[in-house]
């Protein structure tokens, strides 16, 4: 139990501390700077490689399962490349800051 003789902060003091914390976090929540050219290029490259890798891997295992080498590998390779290009275009067409 808490005795009434304990030195507890008042509600006004707590509200002041909450307001200070909110003001401090509001400064930190400002929009981060735009991605640098190098980081954007790396992200686009990874998206392209990931699309091709996932498509090729999927096609390889479907071919292995069905015994149709290399039909699905080739089809899924190109589908993965198209998906990679699509992700690159979608990721690059965001709003620009001047």
> Does residue 33 form part of some domain?
no
* CA distances to 46, 59, 64, 93 from 41, in Å: 9, 27, 34, 14
- Chain centroid to Cα 3, Å, comes to 50
Residue 68 domain flag: yes
Instruction: Say what the pLDDT of residue 98 is.
Output: 45
The reply to whether 74 falls in a domain is: yes
- For residue 77, give its domain range: 39-89
Q: How many domains does the chain have?
A: 1
Q: Answer whether residue 69 is part of any domain.
A: yes
For the stretch 2-33, pLDDT in tens is: 555 567 778 888 889 889 888 877 666 665 66
| DSSP secondary structure of 58-70 | HHHHHHHHHT-TT
Q: Does a structural domain hold residue 29?
A: no
């Amino acid at each position: 139990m808490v005795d009434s003789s304990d030195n507890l902060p008042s509600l006004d003091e707590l509200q002041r501390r909450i307001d200070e914390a909110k003001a401090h976090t509001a400064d930190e929540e400002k929009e981060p700077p735009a991605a640098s050219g190098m980081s954007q290029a790396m992200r686009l490259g990874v998206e392209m490689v990931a699309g091709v890798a996932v498509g090729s891997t999927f096609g390889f295992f479907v071919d292995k399962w069905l015994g149709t080498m290399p039909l699905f590998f080739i089809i899924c390779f190109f589908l993965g490349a198209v998906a990679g290009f699509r992700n690159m275009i979608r990721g690059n067409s965001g709003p620009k800051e001047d």
